[in-house]
Amino acid sequence: MSDHSVSLSRWLIEQQRTHGHIPASLRLLIEQVARACKRISRAVDKGASSGVLGSLQSSNVQGEVQKQLDVIANDVLLEANEWGGHLAAIASEELETIHPIPHRFPRGEYLLLFDPLDGSSNIEVNVTIGTIFSVLHLDEGVAEVQGEHFLQPGHRQVAAGYCTYGPQTTLVLSLGHGVSSFALDPDQGSFVCTQQDLRIPETTSEFAINMSNMRHWAAPVRRYIDECLAGREGPRGKDFNMRWVGSMVADVHRILQRGGVFLYPWDRLYPNLACRLRLMYEANPMAMLVEQAGGMAVAGSQRILDIQPTGLHQRAAVMLGSRDEVERLRQYHLEAEEGSRPPPMR
């Protein structure tokens, strides 16, 4: 199914016929998220011409200055998803507490989490940004949804995805049976399936990290990057290339297409925050996509999807991408934890 004529709606129906695992309410949820992403894409496209660029006076729960488009994207996602009867509650990187579904609408069985506009520092410079989302199932028998009901480890995600707003608007999605990619056809105004069963190459010689934080990294990450930088003459015996967009969606999208490894590790720069990226809105959905595409995602020695969350807005170290490199990083962290350091792997 890669004739570019299969719409997202048809793809969802065909997935259900093939696997029998997609309830109608989950289909509606995905379609509503996709519809919201189309509206956000339009707002991003219009950019300066419609006066939506620039910062607001407000800060979000993370203490970060909000951009106008952060707030617009958040409102669009809330508005598109609260009326359909498929959700019990919503959590957003931009909101301090959860957003229960208003009583005037029926309540559904799913929980939706999102980072409405990832990479927002790139908005003004016209570099790819995106929306990241994660879907969980609400446990049975919950009368009133609270923040604690969202605190499920990432391996319990029912679906995860992101939409990039760049040269093309691309939706990448997993419902737990592989990863598919959809391009927004601007003529039809609909997403069409362009890639099925995306696979991340196991080996790579490309890494993505913010090198300016090098002095703040922990020893295993320093060791890994030092060895990459040593190139052909070093212990890895090959040269590496580096890319860093500064939008996780864009960096992960590149890795899903051609391999690579993405690192936002713990560093001393954010000692009180314990890392830059958020577990529930960024690390978990991306880890699910990467694992579903045959890659790996760890926070050090631990698999990201096994972290038991303790807070809605908690942060996590993120190392994900091509299996061989992420496994090496995991080994380096294990060795550091055990206090031994055998000769570097080749």
State the residues that interact with Mg ion by CB under 5 A.
115, 118
Smallest distance, ligand AHM to C-beta of residue 325, A? 17
Asked if 115 interacts with ligand AHM (CB under 6 A), we say: yes
Smallest distance, ligand AHM to C-beta of residue 3, A? 33
Residue number with CB closer to Mg ion (12 or 36) = 36
Site string for ligand AHM, 227-246 (x = CB under 6 A): -------------------x
Both tokens of 81, joined, read 């998803």
Binds 294, which of Mg ion, ligand AHM, none (CB < 5 to 8 A, cut-off by type)? none
Considering only 64, 139, 148, 337, the residue that binds ligand AHM (CB under 6 A) is 64
Site for ligand AHM in 201-220 (CB under 6 A): 210
Residue number with CB closer to ligand AHM (108 or 300) = 300
Considering only 81, 120, 170, 292, the residue that binds ligand AHM (CB under 6 A) is 120
Residue number with CB closer to Mg ion (67 or 303) = 67
Site string for ligand AHM, 247-286 (x = CB under 6 A): xx---------------x-----------x----------
Binds 64, which of ligand AHM, Mg ion, none (CB < 5 to 8 A, cut-off by type)? ligand AHM
Query: What residues make contact with ligand AHM under the rule CB under 6 A?
Result: 64, 115, 118-121, 210, 246-248, 264, 276
